[in-house]
Amino acid sequence: MKSHALVEARIGDPELVGQRRAEIIRAAIKLFSEHGYYVTTIQQVAREAGISVGLVYQYFRDKDDILFLALKSVLDTYEQEIPRALAGITHPLARLRAAFSAYCAVIDRLREATVLTYRSTKSLRPERRRFIKEGELRTNRLLEACVQECVRAGYLRSVNVRLLVYQYVLFAHAWALKGWAWRGRYTLRRYVREGLALLVDPFLTPKGRRVRP
């Protein structure tokens, strides 16, 4: 299912559509996060974005369109940033650490949207919820591939890869979901380091422990 088939715009210029939608989505994420999806109106989103209500409807059919693309933007960022972080890195353990760090960095950049994903995915229409879930699994596979590579190379012991990767995901998401508990005590860099110590280091083989982090 292609996202462009789900969200239509009345404007024909793709560059303008992308730019204007990004502005509207930023405003919507702020309001949805602060006030909730259901009580936030298109009028409020338009006012926050500094545009008219009519202009919003040039780029989105309804509020569900806006929420869908807001949530999809988080997944798109993972799929862009994790491969970028891995470019040029060849050692399996270094790749795993880089992927985990990149995932956490995306969360840090998109904290409000991450929280919104937890709160409001259920508000999407069923086919869109499926699309978001499929995107999450696709993103997870980027991390799963790194773990599998470490296991094959003998740096990590054999593990339930999918289950372990979800621990990575939940740990990273907690930076946004429980930010009130962390951001007075940890920098992102230290938080990532502690996560690696909890979720990678205990699974190292003797060969893996000989590798410098």
Distance (Å, rounded) from C-alpha 5 to C-alpha 199? 39
Q: What is the pLDDT of residues 163-172, one digit of tens each?
A: 999 999 999 9
**pLDDT, mean over the chain:** 91
The pLDDT of residue 4 is 41
The pLDDT of residue 213 is 63
Residue 151 has pLDDT above 50, yes or no: yes
The pLDDT of residue 115 is 92
Q: What is the pLDDT of residues 86-144, one digit of tens each?
A: 999 999 999 999 999 999 999 999 999 999 999 999 999 999 999 999 999 999 999 99
Which ranges constitute the DSSP H helices of the chain?
Answer: 3-6, 14-35, 42-49, 53-59, 63-86, 92-109, 111-120, 126-152, 161-177, 179-182, 188-199, 206-209
Tell me the domains of the chain and their CATH numbers: 64-209 (1.10.357.10)
When pLDDT is averaged across residues 60-86 and rounded to a whole number, the result is 93
Taking CB atoms within 8 Å and a gap of at least 24, the contacts of 166-173 are 166/140, 167/199, 168/100, 168/103, 168/143, 168/195, 168/199, 169/103, 169/140, 169/143, 171/195, 171/198, 171/199, 172/100, 172/103, 172/104, 172/107, 173/107, 173/114, 173/118
Q: How far is CA 120 from each of CA 62, 99, 131, 198, rounded to the nearest angstrom?
A: 15, 26, 14, 30
Distance (Å, rounded) from C-alpha 58 to C-alpha 55? 5
b/e per residue 185-197 (b: at least 16 CB within 10 A): eeebeebbeebbe
pLDDT-above-70 percentage for the chain = 95
The pLDDT of residue 48 is 95
Residue 71 has pLDDT above 70, yes or no: yes
> 5-19, 46-60, 183-197: which range is least confident on average?
5-19
Residue 9 has pLDDT above 70, yes or no: no
Residue 1 has pLDDT above 80, yes or no: no
